[in-house]
Amino acid sequence: YDQFGHAGVDPNFGASGAGGAYGGGFTGDFGDLGDIFSSFFGGGFGTGGRRANPNAPRRGNDTAAAVNLSFEEAAKGCRKTVKVTKIENCKECGGSGAEKGTTAKTCPVCHGSGQVLSAQRTPFGVMQTQKVCDNCHGSGKIIDKPCHVCAGKGRIRHTVEQTVDIPAGIDDGQIINVRGGGDAGANGGPSGDLRINVNVRPHPIFERDGYDVYCEIPITFAQAALGAEVVVPTLDGKVKLNIHEGTQPGDEFKLRGKGVQRLKYSGRGDQYVKVAVEVPKELTKAQKDKLKEFESLCGEKNYKKRKSFTDKIKDFFNE
């Protein structure tokens, strides 16, 4: 009666209800249509299938958090503290849900399975269905005296601070996975993972492409024409760079090994320094006169690109 209600004590329970007008209907090993489909499809017709053991260990859910890093922190690695909201087992009751000094009891209705069977008479016979036990709500346990901290749930959601090691070379938008840093598992199951989304703030000087670093430095017309030694910023500090004579706007210089540390591999990327030749503004009359004098002293050999471009124009117009 506990499992099937009134149908369970019916003397005709389990017999084929499809006889009579159907000349015996479906009888024998199958009993009714529910048994037929159950034989072929594992209980998919009217039986509801078997429910998983509510007391089996289950892995906790993954949780998410975000961390903001400076350009240098991402390049070199660091240690950060992030706030994580997750579910943990109640420390007061040890995750049992029962008040300290008491224990949960096995549900007398479902006998710990968390599910019960019910039967319903149909024109094709008695159909069995499976549903969650109303007495224990599917847990398979009865807690007479719930824990005063977690209200019998055995688990508490709260926010904690977690220290995370940021690997050198991490980039914007990448994910750091902290194994076991997520929600606590149920019934002794493993905890889920903590997935941290990395946000790297833009840098006022450097840009990044993979493990290479790029920057642009302004130099004067005289430095580009005559050559000079200039100071260049890097992730390791300032270094001196020799600008060779006749450097053109947009020329790049490579500083080998001055880029970002490679993730999971040894070695670093490179740094590329792009030259921007700054044209002077607001010249005085004396400065203009000197530049005009300088221009008059220059010939085609001093401006090879301009001469090449002029020749192309002449060829294009057949001049």
The tokens for 76 are 């070199």
What pLDDT sits at residue 127?
Answer: 85
Whole-model pTM: value is: 0.69
Closest CA to 131 of 113, 153, 152, 105: 113
Exposed / middle / buried, residue 266 (Cβ in 10 Å: 0-12, 13-18, 19+): exposed
> Rg of the Cα trace of the chain?
39
- 299 pLDDT exceeds 60? yes
Q: Mean pLDDT for the chain?
A: 84
Encode pLDDT of 100-111 as tens digits.
Answer: 888 889 999 998
Output the pLDDT for position 52: 64
Residue 19 pLDDT greater than 60, yes or no: no
Token look-up 């039967």 returns 119
Q: What type of residue sits at position 223?
A: Q
More confident of the two residues 73 and 41: 73
pLDDT of residue 188: 84
Q: How far is C-alpha 124 from the chain's CA centre?
A: 52
The tens digit of pLDDT for each residue in 224-235 reads 999 999 999 999
Tell me the domains of the chain and their CATH numbers.
5-56+111-132 (no CATH), 63-100+143-200 (2.60.260.20), 204-279 (2.60.260.20), 283-319 (no CATH)
pLDDT at 11 over 80: no
Average confidence (pLDDT) over 262-271:
93
Each residue's pLDDT tens digit, 279-294: 999 999 999 999 999 9
Confidence of residue 22 (pLDDT cuts 50, 70, 90): very low
Phi then psi for 74, rounded to 5 degrees? -70, -35
What number is the average pLDDT over the span 246-271? 95
**The pLDDT of residue 128:** 84
Where in 22-106 does DSSP place strands (E)?
A: 63-69, 78-89, 105-106
Q: Does the pLDDT value for residue 26 go beyond 50? A: no
